[in-house]
Amino acid sequence: MPATDPVNSASEMAPPNVMVIFGGTGDLTRRKLFPALHHLWKEKLGPERFAVVGVGREALTEAAYRDMLDAAVREYYGEGFDETVWGEMLRSVYYIPGAFADPELYARLDRLLQRITGESQIAPNYFFYLATPPNFFAEIAAQLGRAGLLNESGDHWRRVVVEKPFGRDLRSALELNRQLHQVLRERQIYRIDHYLGKETVQNILAFRFANSTIEPIWNRRYIDHVQITVAESLGVERRGGYYDQAGALRDMIPNHLLALLAVVAMEPPTSFGAEAIRDEQTKVLRAIQPIGHDEVLAATVRGQYGAGTLPGGVRVPAYRSEAKVAPDSKTETYAAMRLMIDTWRWAGVPFYLRTGKRLPGRFTEIVIQYQHAPNFMFRDSLLKRENVPANSLVLRIQPDEGIGLNFNAKVPGPTAHLGTVDMDFRYDEHFSAAPTTGYETLLYDCMTGDATLFKRADNIEAAWALMDPVLDVWSALPARDFPNYLAGSWGPEAAEQLLARDGRSWRPCGFCHKASP
């Protein structure tokens, strides 16, 4: 029988508050935020008294805004849409048009918030979600501060949620943190990474620290190496203008992939409090060996996709032919690197990271590759006299969240031959509640004041400090071989060589599942 969902059954309804979304008509708001809010209310985790104010540059009426959201949520929510819950939510949605740099917009917002909290008897707890391009983050925060909308009094709180990217290098990340700290305390800032809201990422902590069979072998004595892969089959879609200025490294590694690495590699925290967990994650990032400028070309790989064919026979154009991309672009759509962590637990264990667009499938997974078992007693059991196959533990983040483990067993029969057996745990088969997108958890945590899954300033800065030398060298020495991998392939040949030089190889796509297109 499916297990019950212990998290939701023990969770309490969030306190009354008002959510203000800057970028209220944007893609993130329509595809992720409002479907996530609907899910929270359906699960009876959203506040009893609540309102949402969308703030955008489009001159829409409130009725037109609600119609737009209604169409979007019905399209993107998927199975389980609740007409009654959504209808009640939609009546508590408001909209204000205006320019983000206009002080009058914030004066009108202040008046609207006072009216909403007065008429609906909602406590004046506000959180402001910056679902905008990053160039607006500091401006919006400064305007909110000048309008007095970030001032806290009594038990009433004010919080600001900042979407990625948190800067584009160390200098800009430091500057953004400085600007935010001019009007906000660090505890009021929630830097969001939706990967950290996914069930499997959160379950890594429980899996490691709540199982006596796992934690004792989670170290250099038993683990040979770790692979972290974030693969995407999509190209840049409508983001060509942004992506051609960012690239795969800036877009994915300082936030998503290093966040996954920190969860895998962190030491046991003294408690499950937000600061204790974030302290340990930041320690991991600071313990990663810096990649010197003279080491960048050997420790990293970059690639750009050319025209090719995706699974299913779909032909797709080269990156340089995408809309709003320079025809001679040197921007990478693939990045891989080898990192070493200077701690007692991980000394000598390489962490291989890779991410790319237009790969054969969409999946995110972490592979814990254990060392080979001693071979001597199995010499006559192995057909080719090779090493006993090493065990692998695979933590699947998406699309089908779960955990896989393979181990060796004797093949039935009169001769002693070894075979590999796969064990597979899937969330949707073992728990009554299906995994969510991650935004549900993070929005709920922001409402309840739990910052555990959000990035702290020092964490962001440590990640960018690691990436700066790579960005410097890649900028100074533009790639000469772009495009260097076909769309629909697993990336450039140099990425295979990155591991082959260490006598290792990337694990084939997925574990006990097909990577989804």
What are the catalytic residues?
256
Burial class of residue 28, CB neighbours in 10 A (0-12, 13-18, 19+): middle
Tell me how far apart the terminal alpha carbons of the chain are, to the nearest angstrom.
31
What stretch of H or E contains 370?
Answer: strand 363-370
Q: Rounded to whole angstroms, how far apart are CA atoms 458 and 471?
A: 20
Write phi, then psi, for 114 (nearest 5 degrees): -65, -40
For residue 203, the SS3 value is helix
Q: Is 431 helix (H, G, I), strand (E, B) or coil?
A: strand
CB atoms within 10 A of CB 514: 12
Cα separation, 31 vs 439, whole angstroms: 11
- What is the distance between the alpha carbons of residues 263 and 284, in angstroms, rounded to a whole number? 9
**190 and 137 in contact (C-beta within 8 Å)?**
no
Instruction: Report the alpha-carbon distance of residue 459 to residue 453 in Å, rounded.
Output: 12
CA dihedral 40, 44, 46, 50 (to 10 degrees): 130
- Residue 202, class by beta-carbon neighbours within 10 Å (0-12 exposed, 13-18 middle, 19+ buried)? middle
Residue carrying the six token digits 């499950």: 272
Contact call for residues 116 and 53 (beta carbons, < 8 A)? yes
| Distance in angstroms (rounded) separating the CA atoms of residues 43 and 366 | 29
Sign (positive or negative) of CA dihedral 35, 75, 436, 246: negative
202, β-bridge pairs? none
Angle at 27 between CA 105 and CA 34, to 5 degrees: 80
Sign of the dihedral through C-alpha 383, 387, 388, 391? negative
Task: Report the chain's C-alpha Rg in angstroms.
Answer: 24
Number of C-beta neighbours around residue 20 at 10 A: 25
Give, in order, the Cα–Cα distances in Å from 319 to each of 219, 235, 483. Answer: 40, 7, 8
Tokens, residue 355: 């991410």
Distance of alpha carbon 202 from alpha carbon 263, whole angstroms: 9
Looking up tokens 């996954």 gives 260
3-class SS at 392? strand
Q: H or E stretch including 159?
A: strand 158-162
